[in-house]
Structure 1
Amino acid sequence: MNGIIKRRKTSDYAQIHNEVLQELEDIRSIGLISHLMSLPESWVISKMQFYSKFGRGPITNAIKELEAKKYWVTIQYREGKKKLYYYQVSDVAFDDSDVLTMIAEVNSWKVRITTISESFTHLLSIGGNRHFKSENDSILSSSIVENEQLMFNNSPSTVQNLTIKYI
Structure 2
Amino acid sequence: MFKKSLLIGLVSLLAFFQLTSASAQETQSVDSAKTLETAQAFLWAAGSGDMEKLQALMADDFVWHNEGDGSIPWIGKWDSKDKVLNTFLPRFGAGLKVTSWTTDFSFVNGDQAVFMGTMSAIANESGVDTGKFSWAVRVHVEDGKVKSWNWFEDSFAVSNAYHAKQ
Give the TM bin, normalised by the shorter chain.
Answer: under 0.3
Name the one with the larger helix percent.
1
Larger radius of gyration: 1
More RCO (CA 8 Å, sep 6+): 2
TM-score, normalised on structure 2?
Answer: 0.26
